[in-house]
Each structure stands twice: as structure tokens, then as C-alpha cells.
Amino acid sequence: MRASSGARSGTLHRRYWLAGVCLLGGLAGFSNVRAETCYQDDSGRIVKRPRPGFKEVPCPAADTPAPRPFSNQEQAQAPDGTPAHFDRPDTGPPPAASPVPLPELKDYVEAVPVPDRWRIVDSLNYQDRFFDPYHRNLLKADKPISGDSFFNLSLFSDSLYENRDVPAGSGGVSSAHPGQNDAFGRPRDNFFSQTVGTEFVYYKGDTVFKPPEFEFRFAPVFNYNYLSSSELQEVNINPQAGTTRSDHHVGIQALFADKHLRNVSDQFDFDSVRVGIQPFSSDFRGFLFQDNQLGARLFGTRNNNTVQYNLAYFRLLTKDTNSGLNDVTRPPRHDDVLVANLYRQDLPIKGFTSQWTLLYNRDRERDSIYYDDNGFIERPAALGLERGRNFDVAYLGYNGDGHFGRWNLTSSFYYALGHEDSGVFEPKSDQVRAFFAAAELSRDFDWIRPRLSLLYASGDRDPFDRKATGFDAVVENPQFAGADSSYWIRQAVPLIGGGGVALTGRDGVLSDLRSGNNGQSNFTNPGVFLAGLGVDLDILPALRVSFNANHIAFVDPQVVEVARAQGGLAHRVGEDVSASLVYRPLLSQNIVTRASYARLISERGYESLFPHSDPGYFLLDLLFAY
């Protein structure tokens, strides 16, 4: 029984072992069948994964070489023996010689006519929008009017209102207020100015990488202004004119032709010449000479535009009295300016531009007598001997603008030397020796930019020593220490209540005792010192708020004492504080609204001239531009 039972157990084990071997063999065979299915395209290439257009074929053995792609001379065979429609470049070595001959010089052409970028857009039926300066517009030089000639039209409207306190006399021969017998009257003025301007520009040439070959620019400007004063002889020398005045004028602010002379490098460095009434600024901030004047200018660039130069001659035009625009109906003045300056970028470090200026002012208006449109005399000035002068003065200057790391710096230094044939207070000739320095340091902290401003213009300590040491500019328009939001810079503060000579001119920082828009430079003046703090706050991308506080003082008040026959004048003029707001709803210069308020908190130097006076002014300006 045991033997029989052991025999059956051995038989069962052999059966289980054979069944396992058969099962493993079947699985191996199934896997071999699955592995032998591949896919082939028309060129004979075989892959193991199914792809679109490939046919199932048995997989080749491991030692079978891969099929070579067919050449142009060979025809692929499909599995059924029919030729496959396939033509593929031979991947083997190229032939020894190409059957195509090499091109000769005559086979090349200078240019192949193709549509330019403007005509390509025309073919897409893209419409011009003449009233929209932000889209493609023939009037904004987005497309040539013919060939490579362009036309650009600009329009602007500037509406300005000022409510201001300006020291005024109570009237030389009569008063607007019966019973008033004080030397100074009521100082309140209201002023409105509406300016509308156009600019027509025609230029020729591809200006993407180089200046235009030719440019013609014409900019007529119309101005209407209205003044309401509290006293007589403020709006006109004639008291019968009353206390209000309205006036209008059309001025030519630009009329010039610009000719491109040559390119001097592959980077399109160039030389050009410009003749006519044109804008010019001798420095970065308009301290010495910034105006639109009649002249000729040679200018250009070198060293991939890192060096720029100007050589220019100007003859000053007569200015309209009430608008300040050019008056081309009157002959130019006998006042000439020659200027040469050189700009060098990245000097002394990258990000800072240095500029050197040599300017010569030749004035021959000794025998000129000129009354403005309101009847006040401007040449000679009603000061001292009241005599005209001839003078020759040269200005040597250095200016810088840029940044040192995160610190922004603008600086300006001028030394004036020359002579004038007669002094302001004595008839003998004077030697001119005067000095000017200004700097503004600022730093950006995200949306906040604090500023520190310093300015010094030398004064004349003794008006009778035959040395004129008070600094004066040719035509100043300083963008500095708050600019026109400052009372001292914006308003013309008179030396004596009424028209005529001013302590400081309109839109000027120098205390130069000049008269009106057409007066001569005066180097016998008290000079000025300014130290200011300011901050610009970019509250929104469209909104900027600025605050400024400037301390102002005379450098040498002796000249004012002689002019006013008044002793004991202090140096300190006062603190000029202001706040301004600039709003640009379109985030561009097309619509700009400005509002500012300023007050001069007077100290002894100003109170000695105009007692009990803390003058202020409010400005509102609305600008539209196309």
C-alpha cells in the first residue's frame, strides 16, 4: 500500500512539472508572436510602433541589417512587389561636381523691387484715421506722401489763468481809488492767456537709422491775452487806458530749412546745417540761452552718436510785449550771439553726459531807444544814468546731466568776462567779470523723488568801481527749483511798483534788474543765492504732485540800495514755497492739466522794498496737443 501510494505521488509530480513547462512555453511563444509585428513605410523604414500610413510587417531578426533608404535612382518596393511612389534626396556623399554652374557677377542685381512696409499695409485695406494720432495717419508722418517724403502736422491749444499779487504803485498822476495816498497800491492782478499753435513739417529720407536728408518746418502761433489790474498805469503808461487790457498777436516761432550734408561713419554719424527761426538751448536747464531765434546752425554727431556738437550764430528778434512771441514785423535787434558747444556721453562715467560751451554776446544797442506796446521804455533801461551800452561778453561754461548710480545730478558752471563801454551808474567803461553755478541732486525711491537745489549768481558789490561783477544771461528760461510753479521764478517782481525795471524777470531766476522782453543784459546787479528742497510724488501713472521750498537772498544788495536811494537793505529776500499738480488722463502729453499755488514769505530784504507784503499766485493751465 505504501509503494502504490508513493508511485501515484511521483506520477502526479511529473504531471504538474510537465504542465508548468507547457504553460511557460506557451507564454513565451505568445510574447514572441507579439514582438514579431512591426510597421513599415513606403521607403522601407521599419519601426516597432504603429504610425499613420505604415503597414504591418514581420519584425526582422536581430542580426538583419536595417534597410537603406532608397536613392533617387532606386525605386522602393512595396510588400506586394509594386513600386512605391517615393523620391528622396540621396543621403550619401555629394557628387564630385555640381551640374549647376556657379553664379557670375552679372547674375546679381542691385535691388529687387518689393512692396515697402507702407504699401504692404495698404494692400491689407488698413484705413487711415486723420483725427487719431495714435493709429496710422498720413498727417502724422506714419506714411510717405510720395516716395520717401513725409508730412507731419501738430496742433496745440494752451489755456492759462493766473491770479497773482505783484507790487504796484498807487498811480503816478492819478489813482484808481480816491483817497489813497500810499506809495504802493493794491497788488492783485488777474491774467488770462489763450495760445493756439500749429506746426507744419515736411521732411525727406528714411529716418529709421539716420537723420532726414531735408527738413522744412513752419510754426505760426496765435495768442490772445487779457489783464485786469487794481491800479492805474499797470496795463499802460497812459492812465486813461484804465485798469484792464486785452491784446492779441501772431508770432512765428519756427521757420527753418534743415539740410543733411553728409554721413561720416557706418553708424550714420552726420553733419547738417539749419537756417532760419529755430529753437536752441545752450545747456540742459536753460540757464544761459534758451529761445526761438533767427540764426544759422551747423551740428552733427561722431563716434556712434556719443559725441554731439553745435556751431551757431543768432541775431535776436524783437519780442511782442504782452505775449512774449517773436515779432517779425519789426527789424531784428543789434544783439548777436555766437555759440559753440560739445557734448560727450558717458563722461566721466557711464550714464553721465558732459558738455562744454563757449558763447559770445555782442550787443550794439547803445543808441537804440525802444518803447514797448504799453508805452514803457525798455531801451535804455530806466535805471541809473538811463543810457544805452555797447558790450562784448564771452561765457565759458561746463554743464553735466546724468546719474552716478542711483543719484541723479544736473550741474552748470559759467564764467563771464568782457567789457562794456559805459556803466549803469557811471559813464566810464566797465570790465565784466561774473560767475554762475547751479546744481540739482535727486534720488528715486520707487514713486518718490526728493530734490536738493543750489544756485549762486555773483553780484556787484560796488556799482561805481568800473567792475561789473553781477552775472546775467542772454535769454534765460530755467527749468529748475520748481520752475514756473515758483513765485520768484514765474513773476516779474518790479524794482519799484509799476512797469519798467524788475528785480527778477518773468520766467527767470536771476536778479538782474532788466527791463521787459527786449532789454539789454545788465551786469551791475545784486546777484542771487537760492537753496531749495523739493519732492516729486508720482501718486498715479497719470498724476504727479510736487512740493518746493526755496530760500532766496541777494548776494550784494548795494546795487538795489543805490537804485532805490534806500540804505540798510538786508540780504534775505524770503522763503518761496509752492505746490503743484500735473494730471495726464491719457498717460501722454496730448492732454495735460496743471495747477499750482506759490507764496513768497518775505523777510527783511523784501519787506524793506515792499512793506507788509507776502505775495502769492495761483496758476491753472490746460494743454491739448495733436
CB under 8 Å to 198, separation ≥6 — which residues?
A: 153, 154, 155, 219, 220, 221
Q: Is the pLDDT of residue 182 over 50?
A: yes
Q: If you average pLDDT over residues 331-354, what whole number do you get?
A: 97
Q: Is the pLDDT of residue 28 over 50?
A: no
Q: If you average pLDDT over residues 151-163, what whole number do you get?
A: 97
Burial 175-185 (b: 16+ CB within 10 A, else e): bbeeeeeeebb
Q: Is the pLDDT of residue 206 over 50?
A: yes
Which amino acid type is present at position 625? A
Would you state the pLDDT for residue 197? 97
Q: How far is CA 545 from the centre of its chain?
A: 20
Average pLDDT, rounded, for the chain: 86
Q: Choose between 545 and 106: higher pLDDT.
A: 545
CB under 8 Å to 472, separation ≥6 — which residues?
A: 416, 434, 510, 512, 514, 521, 522, 523, 525
Please give the backbone phi and psi of residue 222, each rounded to the nearest 5 degrees, phi first.
-110, 135
Residue 40: beta bridge partners? 46, 55
What proportion of the chain, given as a percentage, has pLDDT over 70? 83
pLDDT tens digits, one per residue of 241-279: 889 999 999 999 999 999 999 999 999 999 999 999 999
pLDDT tens digits, one per residue of 302-323: 999 999 999 999 999 999 999 9
Kind of pairing between the strands at 493-494 and 149-165: unpaired
Q: Copy the grid coordinates of residue 512.
A: 538782474
Confidence band for 94, pLDDT divided at 50, 70 and 90: low
Would you state the pLDDT for residue 237? 87
pLDDT tens digits, one per residue of 400-411: 999 999 999 999
Distance from C-alpha of 613 to C-alpha of 167, rounded to nearest angstrom: 8
Would you state the pLDDT for residue 386? 92
Q: If you average pLDDT over residues 586-603, what whole number do you get?
A: 96
pLDDT tens digits, one per residue of 43-79: 777 888 787 778 888 888 765 555 554 444 444 454 4
Under a CB-based contact definition with an 8 Å cutoff, are residues 530 and 481 in contact? yes
Q: If you average pLDDT over residues 79-100, what whole number do you get?
A: 54
Q: Peptide bond before 526: cis, by omega within 30 degrees of 0?
A: no
**Considering only 16-25, 34-43, 420-429, which range has the smallest mean pLDDT?**
16-25
Distance from C-alpha of 219 to C-alpha of 153, rounded to nearest angstrom: 10
Confidence band for 335, pLDDT divided at 50, 70 and 90: very high
CATH topology classification for 149-625: Porin (2.40.160)
Q: Choose between 616 and 181: higher pLDDT.
A: 616
Confidence band for 301, pLDDT divided at 50, 70 and 90: very high
Q: Choose between 211 and 93: higher pLDDT.
A: 211
Q: Is the pLDDT of residue 468 over 80?
A: yes
Distance from C-alpha of 558 to C-alpha of 570, rounded to nearest angstrom: 10
Q: Is the pLDDT of residue 503 over 50?
A: yes
Say what the pTM is. Answer: 0.80
Q: Is the pLDDT of residue 112 over 70?
A: no
Q: Is the pLDDT of residue 82 over 70?
A: no
Measure Cα distances from 92 to 74, 86, 98, 102, 483 in Å. Answer: 13, 17, 15, 22, 78
DSSP 8-class letter at 337: E
Q: If you average pLDDT over residues 595-610, what whole number do you get?
A: 95
| All structural domains of the chain with their residue ranges | 34-62, 149-625
Distance from C-alpha of 518 to C-alpha of 129, rounded to nearest angstrom: 44
Q: Which residue has the cell 521804455?
A: 377
Would you state the pLDDT for residue 96? 58
